Amino acid sequence: MAFAVVSSQTGQVGKRFLTAVCVVAPLAAACGGGTDQAMEASLVGREFLSESVEGRELVADTVVRITFGSELHVYAGCNHLGGPYRVDGGRLHMAGFSSTEIGCNPELAEQDDWLQDLLTGSPSVVLDEPRLTLSNAATRLTLLDRELASPDLPLMGIHWIANGIGDEGAVTSTTGGMTMSFREDGTVEFFTGCQQGSGDYSADDTTISVRNLVYDGANCSTPTDVPFNPHTHLLSILDAAPVSYEIEEDRLTISGDGRRVIFVAEQ
């Protein structure tokens, strides 16, 4: 089974090929002994976002996110939940379950409890690309592959606003108001938290090459009360050759010279 995925950076259409899986619990025996293993292999490394729920209503402005890796991770606006899992007999089985302990309002806390009950109750699981459905006697939760439900934004044509800077080990939210904009004409404009700058750039799917940088010459002080100086931090990254970048949904991370800046798209 295959479905098209469009690269937000290149515009090229690729295909993710997945094994067709027969997983409705009462019919699982008829599907062959490798069905559950094929299901797990098809889920690993993917994220699904809630599309619809039958049997209850989600808290307003929340989305259920389920990510499959070596463990299953869930987030719906409050705590991060998860644990080891397996697919067996057309059902999702959790081998233990853990949760962070963030204080949430009662509605979100109750929603977390509902999700935990659903996931630890061995719900039936159906993968009908690109949708995943988990259900029990009371509830049916249908989720859509994240790449389709919330695709990665393009690098170009977005006004990016910094919300975190750091190195390979730590990130702080003190950004100095940094921004970046990559134009379709091959120019880039940015604000370091002190100076306005611009230049030319070229990019592929993972790296950006920046050149011909010019600055407005503003006099920049060196702050002493923050772990990272936003102005020099961004300049060090831009001076790296080339600059690495990654976009996930509405978040852009650029890195170089052992430093990184995390941006979000302006709403």
Q: Do domains 19-149 and 159-265 have the same CATH topology?
A: yes
| Closest C-alpha to 92, from 130, 133, 128 | 133
Which neighbouring-strand residues pair with 4?
15
Per domain, the residue ranges of the chain are 19-149, 159-265
Q: Contact 69/44 with Cβ under 8 angstroms? A: yes
In whole angstroms, how large is the CA radius of gyration of the chain?
22
Distance CA 159, CA 180 (A): 6
Q: What is the pLDDT along the chain (267 residues), one digit of tens a residue?
A: 433 333 334 333 333 434 334 443 333 333 434 688 999 999 999 999 999 999 999 999 999 999 999 999 999 999 999 999 999 999 999 988 999 998 899 999 999 999 999 999 999 999 999 999 999 999 999 999 999 999 999 999 999 999 999 998 889 887 889 999 999 999 999 999 999 999 999 999 999 999 999 999 898 877 666 778 888 899 999 988 889 999 999 999 999 999 999 999 998
Domain 159-265 top-level CATH class: mainly beta
> Which CATH number among 3.50.50.60, 3.40.640.10, 3.40.980.10, 2.40.128.270 corresponds to the domain 19-149?
2.40.128.270
pLDDT one-digit tens code per residue, 202-261: 999 999 999 999 999 898 877 666 778 888 899 999 988 889 999 999 999 999 999 999
